[in-house]
Structure formats: structure tokens, C-alpha cells
Amino acid sequence: MSLSDIPGAVPEPGLIGARQANALAEPTTRVRPLWISGVVLVNLGINAAFFGPLQVLLGQQAEHFDPGQKEAILALVTGAGAAVSLVANPLVGAFSDRTTSRFGRRVPWVVVGAILGAAALIGLAGAPNVAVMTLLWCLVQAGCNGAYAAITATIPDRVPVPQRATVGGLAATGQTLGILLGAVIAAVVTGNFALGYIACAAALLAGVVMYLFKSDDVPLPAGDRPPLNWTEFLVSFVRPLRHPDFAWAWITRMLVNIGNHMVTLYLLFFLGDAVRLKETTGLEPAFGVLVLTGLYAVFLIITSVLGGRLSDRMGKRKPLVIASSAIIALASLILAFAPTWIGAIVGASVLGIGFGAYLAVDTALITQVLPHAVDRGKDLGVINIANSLPQVIAPVLAWPFISLWGGYVSLYVAAAVIGLLGAVFVVKIKGVD
């Protein structure tokens, strides 16, 4: 078999040969539960390291530095970190495509990313000011996004198309359990954000262990790696967007994620300032975040698994992506017009139902619109910008809504409208049903 025989692959000098085809061929053998478990645990560790800080710890640290400017500090720190992730994710994805380690193309980047992220989280525990806090969070984003880019690329590397939505759903389960673990850590440390950062670092490192021993990562022979032309390399990050299906998939994921981040970014402050959770129920807002995250996680896990299996059996992706995007928008409207503890519980549950199905099915859809097999890691890194860019855009959009344009009601209505646009644009994708 040559590279020209691989669906979606473009032959390049030096990339022809049976050994190369083994690394780039469209997979046909179903992956085993142990391999899937390793991928799930990596996703769990990465998301615990992301969302423990994003949901609670960074907010508490911002309040520690300046209670009167906590929203602005949180927007600065999360926006700067997300800007770093815009570069780190596609760049590491591209370099992992070219990596010739005997351990495989993806494993070295998972390891290095986890170590860097963990070290920066430990540093955050002792950050003396906002500047150092911002720098260290940027390093966390660089390390975790590098690991995420590599582990995401393993799905089109190893999982056949008829199994992808199922595996995507299970990977989403790992992401959700990581989010839940991050919230549990934040609640257990009860305001001791330094201890919370250390616990998140431990979860990140522990999450990669099983994958390291069962990665089945196929090495890329050094002699078959193409020469590096920096001009061509940089241009290649833009080129996938010339493919209409890829571009529309990117746009729809970005819009849905902007809406989702606008809902979740200020959840801690929403419970404290709008719901007034402490006054009305006696519960601390951080504990409220844990409860809501738990409900969100339960429903997300159920619908990600069921939605993924249903999509694989139907052989269709777009109808489920559209339906799940509409459900996500409904969750935002519930929070907008029922800013109570009961309303928050219902909204979080509905959000979990919608986002679980969305993550499973959209992951499978995206792997089917990748332009070239040889660039899977890079192209998925470009797709992952649609996960990271909303972390920059959402704080910029959210802050004026909260401060100037009607508060949390207008914020969550805007989030619903943006998410619905994502559902509308899915119909533009022509190469996937």
C-alpha cells in the first residue's frame, strides 16, 4: 500500500512506502476497551487541570488579589491563557505529525505537555501577584493544550469511522469527569486555592499513566519525514480552512463553544451575585458550582455515550448536532429567566444533556472532514482553536453584558443566540450526513 491509496491523503516526497502507510492509513480495526480507557483518563486529567482553575480556583485567587476587580482580573488571566492555547494547540499538533520518536508520534507530546502543565499549576499555588498568576496560567494552557492536541489526534489515527462517535462519546465522558473532578477538588479544599492547584497537578500527571503503557502509537520512520519548509509549514495552518466542510465545522464548533463559555465562565459569581446562593440557601457558591457540575456531568455522560452510539448506528451526524445545539441554547435561556437555585439546577441539567450529545457526535463529524491524513494532528489542532478561541472571546463579550448591558439575563440570552447560530451553520456541511 502507498500513501496514494489512503483516503484523504496527499502524496508528498519522502512519504511513500509501506511503513509510512501504516502510520497514516485510515484505521479499520476496532480499538479495544483498554486503549479507550487510556484515552479517557488522559482527557480526564487534562480537564481536571483546566476546569478546576477555570471554574473556581482562578476566581478565588483573583478575589484574593483584589475583590473589587475580580471580574477584570479573571478576564485578563483566562484571556491571556486562551491566547496561548490558540498557538500551542495547532503547533503541537503539527509537530506531533512530524515526530519520529520510537514511542510514536503522539506519546512524547502527551508526556511533555502533562509535565509542563503540572509544574505551572504547582507554581500557581504560590503566585505572588496577578502578573505571575497570568504567566503561569499561560504555561498551564501551553502544556495542557499540547497534550490535548496529541491525544485528540489519536482518534483518527487509531479508530475506524463506524466506531468514532462511540469513542468520541467516551472521550467526552473523560472530559466531563475531569470537569467534575476539578469542581470536587475546588470544593474539598474550601477556599485554599493553593492546595487546589497542587491537587489538579496530581490529577493531570496521574491521568496519562495508563495511556503511556497502552498507546499502540505507530512510529513515523525518520527517513520518511518530509523536509521542513517554514514558509510552507506556516501557510499549512490556514490551508485547511479553504476546504468548505472543514471551515463550516470549525465555525459551528467555535460558536457553540463561545455560547457555552459565556454560560460557565462566571458561574461562581452568578451563584454569588445573581442567585445569592449564600443568603437564600446557606450554601457557599463554590459548593454550588460542585453540585451543578455534578448534575451537568451525569447528564453529559449519559447523552454522550447514548448519542455517540445512536449516531454510529444511524450513520448520521448533522441532525444530532443541530438538535443538541438547540438544547444547549435552551439551557442558557433557563438560566437567564430563572436566576434561582432551582433554575440553575434545571439549566445545568439541560446543558449537560445537550453538550454531551454534541461533543460525541461533533467529534466524529470533524474527523470525517479532515482534508489530509498526513496532517491529522495539525488539522485537529486548527479545529481545537475553535475550543480555545472562545476562551478569549467569551470574557470580552461577557464582561460588558454583565457590567453595562443588563447583567446575567442579557448575558445568557446572548449565549443562547450565539449557540443557535452554530446549529444553523451545520447544514452548510455537505460531505457528512
Question: Is a pLDDT exceeding 50 seen at residue 14?
Answer: no
pLDDT digits (tens, 9 = 90+) for 52-90: 898 789 988 998 898 888 878 888 898 888 789 888 888
Question: Is a pLDDT exceeding 90 seen at residue 24?
Answer: no
Q: For the chain, what percent of residues have pLDDT higher than 70?
A: 92
Quote the CA–CA distance of 61 and 136 in Å, as a whole number.
13
In this prediction, residue 421 carries a pLDDT of: 86
Q: For the chain, what percent of residues have pLDDT higher than 90?
A: 26
Question: Is a pLDDT exceeding 80 seen at residue 301?
Answer: yes
Three cell numbers written together for 424: 444553523
Mean pLDDT, the chain, integer:
83
In this prediction, residue 42 carries a pLDDT of: 95
Of residues 294 and 413, the one with the higher pLDDT is 413
Domain ranges of the chain: 29-215+236-428
In this prediction, residue 224 carries a pLDDT of: 67
Quote the CA–CA distance of 135 and 132 in Å, as a whole number.
5
> Quick one: average pLDDT of 187-214?
90
Task: Specify the pTM.
Answer: 0.74
Homologous superfamily of 29-215+236-428 in CATH? Answer: MFS general substrate transporter like domains (1.20.1250.20)
> Quick one: average pLDDT of 318-337?
89
Give the Cα-Cα-Cα angle 238, 239, 242 (nearest 5 degrees).
Answer: 105
